[in-house]
Amino acid sequence: MTTPPNPGTGSPPSDPRLPGERPLVSLRTAVIFLIGFFFGLIAGGLTYLDGHSTAMAVLAGLGAVGVSIPVLHVMIGGH
């Protein structure tokens, strides 16, 4: 049995994960998806502001995400 950290010190536990447990998504993957969705929002927003319907703007945004993620994967080399 381990003793809990002293509540009076105010220091958080160092790492709540179990030893040997890996994160679900790496930082590189999260950044690639975040930038891809940002590009999708820009493309969808511009399409909507151009006067097209909401459905067309959503399709344009999803298309931009689908195209940008593989490109970002190659541009942001990790391995």
pLDDT tens digit sequence for 25-68: 999 999 999 999 999 999 999 999 999 899 999 999 999 999 99
pLDDT at 20 over 80: no
Q: Is the pTM of this model over 0.85?
A: no
When pLDDT is cut at 50, 70 and 90, the band that residue 6 belongs to is low
**What is the structure's pLDDT at 19?**
73
Rg of the chain's alpha carbons, rounded to an integer? 21
Q: Phi then psi for 23, rounded to 5 degrees?
A: -65, 155
What was the pLDDT predicted at 43? 96
